[in-house]
Structure 1
Amino acid sequence: MTTATDLNQPTLEHGAPAGRRISLPVLLLIIAGALALTSIVRLITGANGITNVSQMSTALQLAVPIGLAGLGGLWAERAGVVNIGLEGMMILGTWFGAWAGFQWGPWTGVLMGIVGGALGGLLHAIVTITFNVNHIVSGVAINILALGATRYLAPLAFEGHQGGSAKQSPPVDSLGHFSVPGLSDGLESLNDQHWFFVSDIAGLLGGLVTDVSWLTLIAVALIPASWYILWRTPFGLRLRSCGENPVAAESLGVNVYKYKYLAVIISGGLAGLGGVFLSIVANPFYLEGQTSGRGYIGLAAMIFGNWMPGGLAIGAGLFGYTDSLNLRGGSANVHALLLLGALLLIAGAIWLAIRKKYVKAAITVLVGALVLAWYAGTDEVPNQVVSATPYVVTLVVLALSAQRLRMPKANGMQYRKGQGK
């Protein structure tokens, strides 16, 4: 029988087995090292666009919906409910946000988009928690249902309005953007100097304070807010206990059904907010197929982040950055990043050799040599490779990080009230 003491063990409290978490100083050192290596690649290749302010600003904009979807997945799965339906909840968010936004204003659209995603979350909660349907089956069904429902509703809601059609809503007014006075211009000027490391940091920071949407600011604030709620409040501890050991949680008086329902509804609302970002901020209108699989990439970012908000944010940023290569000098930038990939693989091989994992080190060196040969033997990469880069990075990152992952113990398991008696 699990006791109250068990619920406070490091595995639950921190979301990962003790001794396997990366401390903040080490994480910052890793990020600084990666940025320094990127700066070296920039100097060698002359591809200054890979760290300029515009590139980073675009990457942030593309990372936000992915991060919100991943954050939605985090809330649900920390309570033990797998949410494959994030894509469908994002689709509902795009439609509801644009539908309300063009009629009653963008902030009303934001609220209705959250409501639309939350309705998808509520449906997922009823099906999986109350009726114990397989979580994957329910999520896939919600994705299909959301796509079909919006295709049916779009002609009814948008046709006949100026700028509207069966697949597109009328334009929605902007929520507004802002740049930090003085700081934005100063960082951009520093970035234009193309100095080693310093200009790259200026480009990264400049992207965070230049032409930022108010909804972006809200989305970024939700990352530490979620961490605080889930890891520093009694509510968060009870919610996470439902994803680790619901039977033990119930024995301590936790209403497991209530916390699971709340988590999945919040999950849907966050995914819906990600959809709103696409239909009001990224584009000022709803467009069929607008999510383009970002719900699934958000799920991948959550897994890459080991079910932790900070790791999720890094994963969303990585995927947003690779996606931004499609929009700004894609072929030249991706070609430069081949060199970065080769150097990272060689560094990884050295690390594996130090740890006496010689077979893995040899394989890593071989792959790194092939990537380096690809870089040296070409001047650019095909456009198809540029378009596929975000998805390839998703697969590679998940494959490389799989061994350190630790999901909540009861994630995806069926639960009935009183089953521990």
Structure 2
Amino acid sequence: MTNTVIESPSPVTGPPGGEPARRRIPGWARGLLWAVAAIAVLATASYATGMDVLTSSNTANTALRLALPILLAGLGGLWAERSGVINIGLEGMLILGTWGAAWGAYFGGSVWTGLAAAILFGGLGGLLHAVATVTFGVNHIVSGVAINLLGLGVTKYLASLIFEPISGNPRQSPVVPKYDTYSATFLSDWLGDIEAMQRVFISDAAGLIRGLITQVTPLAVLALLLVPVSYLILWRTRFGLRLRSCGENPVAAESLGVNVYLHKYVALAISGGLAGMGGASLVLLPGGADYLENQTNGRGFIGLAAMIFGNWRPGGLLGGAALFGYADGLQLSGGGEAVISLLYGVVILLIVLVVLQLFRKQWLSALLAAAGAGVLYYIYWSNDALPRDLIPYTPHFVTLIVLAVSAQKLRPPRAIGRRYRRGEGD
């Protein structure tokens, strides 16, 4: 009798007799490589077009402030959709957060009471979405749209009831406290000197980094910390595993003793609270307005797009929020000329993509990328600046382009959007 030995695949060498398996690059390392590549592209575009504003510290600082509501809304969407619930209502929860932040900060006399009120109002919106979708089985899209409309209506009524007697304007709150800002003074001054030298790449990197460590608010630090915290909770804890199982296969999760309803409710309450924080960032950060009607300007939907761009992962979401925040900040800092110059950088990226796709023998993708590069370069060459009427919509254009490019590689949770009833099978 012959004993047969079955060899198990090695994590390094792969299956017996096969080719060595590729080592996966850690997520933090991939993020660092993408950051270096982005700086290189922006530096090249800045040098070629003469637009220093592309990598200035002012642009980076403005981009950070404008990326916060997108990042927090996207994190809210991540928590909801990882539990299997589509959250189109992020925009409405952002709106509720803006009103709650102004109300809490004005009557509480502190930015922290404003932040707490924003989280509370956003969380209530998330719980209402949970009642509709989880308990009553309402279609997730229909419920989300209703939350958006409800957020608009409720805040409009509350503003006319509470703010109008004080501010004299039913669409605006009275002046509310703002967060203090902090800077790493020594490092900021040193990076400012390097930025002023106008050395290719070095000065560009110094300008972008300086913008991220100058006049930073505690809310910005808290929002950035929530990215790794969300990853650790959702991917490194038992609770996170159970929550994600509700979005992948709730029936199987139920059979293993997971309370699917409870986890979905918790996820949506957290989702609404994070979106409420995003609304607070529009009201409580210095340089921003107090509460204004419709001041979210679609950032809840852009946050949802950033989450999809990030493939329902916190790290990718951070990159998407940075991209959209940068596009928004650039049009404020540099106007239409800077936005047109950014197209030069996009052309560079597409040329690199063409080379990579040719190397992989992906002929159709290479052809489409080359055609896109040609069209964008023609737009850049034939226009000195983006038309003034289109400038405010720069982040929205970027959203559409990014979603169109990244749509082929998405992997959403398997059970997302499905109606779940306890005790029912697949």
TM-score (ref. length: structure 1): 0.92
Q: What corresponds to 2:200 in structure 1?
A: 196
Alignment of 1:264 with 2:268, yes or no, is yes
Structure 1: gaps (5+ residues): 1-17
Structure-2 separation of matches of 1:223 and 1:262 = 18
Q: What corresponds to 1:95 in structure 2?
A: 99
Q: Specify which of 359, 376, 385 is matched with residue 381 of structure 2.
A: 376
Q: What corresponds to 1:291 in structure 2?
A: 296
Q: What corresponds to 2:146 in structure 1?
A: 141
The alpha-carbon deviation at position 362 of structure 1 amounts to: 1.8
Q: Specify which of 172, 176, 181 is matched with residue 172 of structure 1.
A: 176
The alpha-carbon deviation at position 22 of structure 1 amounts to: 6.5
The alpha-carbon deviation at position 31 of structure 1 amounts to: 2.9
Structure-2 separation of matches of 1:404 and 1:20 = 20
Structure-2 separation of matches of 1:37 and 1:350 = 16
Do the aligned partners of residues 89 and 20 (structure 1) sit closer, same or farther apart at CA in structure 2, a change above 3 Å counting?
A: farther
The alpha-carbon deviation at position 39 of structure 1 amounts to: 0.9
- For 1:322, the aligned partner's letter is A
SS at match of 1:325: helix
Alignment of 1:79 with 2:90, yes or no, is no
Paired residue total: 403
Note the alpha carbon deviations across 1:294-343, whole angstroms, 9 max, x for none. Answer: 00000000000000001000000000000112211112211211211222
Alignment of 1:364 with 2:394, yes or no, is no
SS at match of 1:384: coil
Structure-2 separation of matches of 1:166 and 1:98 = 13
Q: What corresponds to 1:302 in structure 2?
A: 307
Q: What corresponds to 1:41 in structure 2?
A: 45
Q: Is the 8 A contact 2:331 2:339 kept in 1?
A: no
- For 2:247, the aligned partner's letter is G
Larger radius of gyration: 2
- For 1:175, the aligned partner's letter is Y
Structure-2 separation of matches of 1:416 and 1:292 = 36
- For 2:64, the aligned partner's letter is L
The alpha-carbon deviation at position 23 of structure 1 amounts to: 4.0
Structure-2 separation of matches of 1:171 and 1:19 = 57
Structure-1 separation of matches of 2:341 and 2:331 = 14
Q: Specify which of 219, 224, 230 is matched with residue 223 of structure 2.
A: 219
TM-score (ref. length: structure 2): 0.91
Do the aligned partners of residues 22 and 268 (structure 1) sit closer, same or farther apart at CA in structure 2, a change above 3 Å counting?
A: farther
The alpha-carbon deviation at position 352 of structure 1 amounts to: 1.7
SS at match of 2:296: coil
SS at match of 1:418: coil
SS at match of 1:71: helix
SS at match of 1:326: helix
Do the aligned partners of residues 27 and 212 (structure 1) sit closer, same or farther apart at CA in structure 2, a change above 3 Å counting?
A: closer
Structure-2 separation of matches of 1:309 and 1:19 = 24
Alignment of 1:347 with 2:352, yes or no, is yes
Structure-1 separation of matches of 2:41 and 2:172 = 43
Structure-2 separation of matches of 1:377 and 1:362 = 23
Structure-2 separation of matches of 1:272 and 1:168 = 18
SS at match of 1:212: coil
Structure-1 separation of matches of 2:134 and 2:67 = 31
SS at match of 2:121: helix
Structure-2 separation of matches of 1:147 and 1:93 = 11
Q: Specify which of 387, 394, 399 is matched with residue 394 of structure 1.
A: 399
- For 2:124, the aligned partner's letter is L
- For 2:296, the aligned partner's letter is T
Alignment of 1:233 with 2:245, yes or no, is no
Note the alpha carbon deviations across 1:238-276, whole angstroms, 9 max, x for none. Answer: 111111111111111111110000000000000001001
Moved more, 98-107 or 21-30: 21-30
Structure-2 separation of matches of 1:19 and 1:219 = 34
Q: What corresponds to 1:247 in structure 2?
A: 251
Q: Is the 8 A contact 2:305 2:403 kept in 1?
A: yes
Q: Is the 8 A contact 1:325 1:386 kept in 2?
A: no
The alpha-carbon deviation at position 26 of structure 1 amounts to: 3.9
Q: What corresponds to 1:321 in structure 2?
A: 326
- For 1:92, the aligned partner's letter is L
Do the aligned partners of residues 270 and 302 (structure 1) sit closer, same or farther apart at CA in structure 2, a change above 3 Å counting?
A: same
Structure-2 separation of matches of 1:137 and 1:377 = 43
Q: Specify which of 400, 408, 413 is matched with residue 413 of structure 2.
A: 408
The alpha-carbon deviation at position 20 of structure 1 amounts to: 12
Q: Is the 8 A contact 2:331 2:338 kept in 1?
A: no
